[in-house]
Amino acid sequence: MSEQSSDTENRNFIRDIVADDLSSGHCKEIATRFPPEPNGYLHIGHAKSICLNFGIAQDFGGRCHLRFDDTNPTREEQEYIDAIKTDIRWLGLDWGKHLYYASDYFEQLYDWAVHLIQTGNAYVDDLTADEIRDYRGTLTDPGRNSPYRDRPIEENLHLFARMRSGDFPEGRCVLRAKIDMASGNINLRDPIIYRIIHTKHPRTASKWCIYPTYDFAHGQSDAIEHISHSICTLEFEDHRPLYDWFIENLPVPSRPHQHEFARLNLSYTVLSKRILTQLVRENRVSGWDDPRMPTLAGLRRRGFPPEAIRDFASRIGVAKRDAVVDVAMLEHCVRDILNQNADRRMAVLRPLKVIIENYPDSQVEELEAANNPGNESSGTRTIPFSRELYIEQDDFMEAPPKKFFRLAPDREVRLRYGYLITCTNVIKDVNGEVTELRCTYDPATRGGKTPDGRKVKGTLHWVSASHAVDAEVRLYEYLFAVSEPGVDGNLIQDINPTSLEVLNNCKLEPCLVNLSKGQTVQFERMGYFCSDTDSTPERLVLNRTIGLRDSWSKTLGGKTG
């Protein structure tokens, strides 16, 4: 899609900047990048950045790079690299031949660090981490120069070479840029640009024992790759002067510019990678792909379609100010896609046996049912109907209130695609719990029709008992019980203790035995459900993706935060 043909609703201030830079001749080709750190799994907040960077490149006929910021081997793993690639491809996006790593540039970055030393713009500092922090000052007090700040250039070159050679232990010394310890921007108070880390790197193994910091590697990697627009979130706005300082003081091959936008904040959700890592390590969730997690892996396992994620990213837009987006908006996008694409099926999650006493014992009928009433091309399926059925426990009440229109003693209801039945007897166990219902059916009402025109308000879903497929169904709710987790300072206490309920005796219509892993269907009246990766040929496991009720559709067109 070209910029000229793109929808007006997709415009935002970043796109306007890009369009202006092209029209003014400031840049001739658009190049963006998505630069994740491979120290965890991507989450829904990253999806906003991914869609923005790849979308701008596509719309303006440019390219988007995937570049891993692998500058801290103590936290990085190949597992995360592979997962990030999988997530981006799942979103339907492709970096093509433009896959890069900051580690690709380690030799060049080292040479540029030497250049800074040679020009008097960097020095080796022997202060400890605590001393550096103390010397840096505060937001109201200026910093103080390190006693090592004025070391001779030759001494700094010698010490930096020894750092690379592995002569020093971790923490012994660092390389700092020499900028301004009195600057009002703390990021400019002689930031660290190299530190010693004696840890094997996922790609370079033990070749290096010193590694550049993000602030040093990021802008220079952009310059090497001729990135035209370095787009990042607002927390890096105060880092932009440092980004520009490095570009101005190094012989880089291009001069990219950094632009910031507001990160995604989502109600009932935590999007801090540090906290998500904590949840995984403390076993508060089953892993990075736990369906309660906001990770793309978790959302995929829960059954969220990638089209819904992209639609959500488009709807929330790109702003300059942080705001909280209602999670109901994301859920609306999910329902909107699944309502169009998901086949309908019947499943009974909390079964109650129903015996139709006047239905022939050995008779089985095949009833025709629509796969998706809103999509005629999806066709139909057949469902077996027999004397013994299961309905939901909640669809029966022995002493119902006035507005309860489902099954009750001596009451008639419609079975979806089937017949009208009337409850004639209630069977209970020794504890007085209802275990079985006896009913009669009207043979003249096949397909739910009423030839005599009588009114029946209740329609129930059901499953034939002898044909039912057994399944485990996992009902997921929000991982956090409050809309702003951690606002009171204790995030762990805000975890929802009922965020997962496992049902082990669910009964599904027989065609679901062929449900493939990751496939999402709508259980009529119950919600959308996805076959989990834990499913086996012997036993289905399904996750509730989302319920049917849509609270956001009533507020469409309103503010998102």
237-272 exposure pattern, b = at least 16 Cβ within 10 A, e = fewer: eebbebbebbbebbebeeebbbbbbbbbebbbbbbe
String of DSSP letters for 222-281: HHHTT-SEEEEEGGGGGGHHHHHHHHHTS--S---EEEEEPPPEETT----HHHHHHHHH
Tell me which of 15, 178, 273, 302 is the catalytic residue.
273
Instruction: Output DSSP code: residue 218.
Output: H
Q: Give residue 474's region: left, alpha or beta (phi > 0; psi -120 to 50).
A: beta
Six-digit token string for 341: 């694409």
Other CB atoms within 10 Å distance of the CB of residue 288: 22
Nearest-10 Cα torsion for 288, 289, 293, 294? 100
Distance CA 488, CA 204 (A): 43
Six-digit token string for 422: 């009337």
- Reply yes or no on whether 273 is catalytic: yes
* φ, ψ at 142 (rounded to 5°): -70, 160
- Quick one: three-class SS letters along 25-56? CCCCCCEEEECCCCCCCCEHHHHHHHHHHHHH
Helix (H) or strand (E) holding 376: none
Nearest-10 Cα torsion for 401, 403, 404, 408? 60
Between 306-316 and 327-341, two packed helices, what is the crossing angle to 10 degrees? 140
- Mode of pairing for the β-strands spanning 527-531 and 520-523: antiparallel
- Quick one: three-class SS letters along 384-431? EECCEEEEEHHHECCCCCCCCCCECECCEEEECCCCEEEEEEEEECCC
Tell me which of 3, 11, 37, 136 is the catalytic residue.
37
Nearest-10 Cα torsion for 462, 465, 471, 473? 30
CA 51 to chain centre: 13
Six-digit token string for 359: 């239905």
Distance CA 110, CA 208 (A): 11
Tell me which of 263, 284, 315, 416 is the catalytic residue.
263
- Reply yes or no on whether 457 is catalytic: no
- Reply yes or no on whether 263 is catalytic: yes
**The dihedral of CA 521, 523, 528, 530: what is its sign?**
negative
| Catalytically annotated residues | 37, 263, 273
